[in-house]
Structure 1
Amino acid sequence: MDIKTATALHRLRLASIPEALSFPALLIFGTGFRLALDYDKLVMPLGIIHGVLFIIYVVLLLDVWNRAKWPFKRVALFFLLAVLPFGGLFGDRILKREEQAGVIAARARKEGTVNA
């Protein structure tokens, strides 16, 4: 894995946590506010924030798919994790391990300690 692929993985990790927390935190909070206090003005802005975070996540996922040459099943798994509440937190663990392994391998190749 090259540095650009590791960077793409890192960007996806950075987007996965806010996206994972935005669904339960923002949307459920907004819906609870609407139901408990009959206050509808929070739902739309919170939904827009969640939607923007989700779109960013999907675009970054497609970038990683292109750079890392992931199989479709793996991309589908990460997409499914983004749809599930808190699912992105599980995906973050996987991405963190893969990112660290990629950076270590790239540094080893750069230093000439591993033939690639």
Structure 2
Amino acid sequence: MLKTTIGKLRFAGYFEGISLLVLLFIAMPMKYWFGMPEAVRIVGSIHGALFITYCVIIAYVTLKTRWNLTWPILSVIVAFIPFGNFILDKKLHQLEKVHG
């Protein structure tokens, strides 16, 4: 997966997507149901760093592969949707097979 430019984006997308799910489905309930705001603070910080890294990798892949604006815009949008990165990953995997 890390051998291709698109593979690097897929890899980053996995971690960004997982961090969003942990934030939404573990840290937020811990904050609101169990009164542990530090869970959101910690997981939110990690998710923020992963999101910024993901955006930098999107820019890198866009420049390296000379994508039009469709893929980078779609890649950013799905980062805000739970499970969005995993759905996009299927399309990127097909694209990776074609373009290498």
Gaps of 5+ in 2: none
CA distance in 2 between partners of 1:56 and 1:37 (Å): 31
Whether contact under 8 Å (1:30, 1:46) holds in the other structure is yes
1:1-116 superposed matches below 5 A: 7-103=4-100
Structure 1 ranges of 4+ moved more than 2 A: none
Whether contact under 8 Å (2:14, 2:85) holds in the other structure is yes
Indicate the larger mover: 46-55 or 65-74.
65-74
Please, what TM-score do these two structures have when normalized by structure 2? 0.88
Indicate the larger mover: 10-19 or 94-103.
94-103
- Higher relative contact order, structure no. (Cα contacts within 8 Å, ≥ 6 residues apart): 1
Deviations 1:12-69 (A, max 9, x none): 0101112112112234311101111111221111001111111111111101110111
Whether contact under 8 Å (1:12, 1:64) holds in the other structure is yes
Indicate the larger mover: 6-15 or 21-30.
21-30
Gaps of 5+ in 1: 1-5, 104-116
Q: 1:74: Cα distance to partner?
A: 2.4
From the CA coordinates, give the structure whose radius of gyration is larger.
1
Deviations 1:69-102 (A, max 9, x none): 1111221111101121111011111111111222
Percent of pairs with identical residues: 29
Structure 1: which amino acid aligns with 2:80?
V
CA distance in 2 between partners of 1:44 and 1:57 (Å): 20
Aligned residues: 98
